[in-house]
Amino acid sequence: MTRQAYRGHLIEVAATSGPQGYGYEATIADEATEIHRHRLVQPPGTFDSREMAHDHAFASARAWIDGSPLHWPFAPPHA
């Protein structure tokens, strides 16, 4: 499982594989409280490589976070 922090969230991605290619399961949690906020899934066979699956998962998770930000007082300070 691969992790990435983004705007006060923790994104965890696990690639899934099948005979036709790769997919992923991604979870998005509040980084401070670890409360689960969202889950994204693409079935195996959606992507040709594990790297493509990971790239798509993280891009989709960041897009979801941008559209569903944490609200004050829970939002991290922005520089």
- Which stretches of the chain score pLDDT less than 70? 72-79
pLDDT for position 79 = 43
pLDDT for position 76 = 58
pLDDT for position 71 = 72
Angle at 43 between CA 54 and CA 2, to 5 degrees: 25
Two structure tokens written together for 54: 């990971």
pLDDT for position 72 = 64
**Total-model pTM:** 0.86
Two structure tokens written together for 23: 């997919």
Two structure tokens written together for 72: 């004050």
Domain ranges of the chain: 2-67
Instruction: Report d(CA 60, CA 77) in Å as an integer.
Output: 23
Q: Write out the H or E segment, with its range, that includes residue 67.
A: helix 50-67
Nearest of 63, 59, 70 to residue 29 by alpha carbon? 70
Instruction: Report d(CA 49, CA 33) in Å as an integer.
Output: 33
Mean pLDDT of the chain: 91
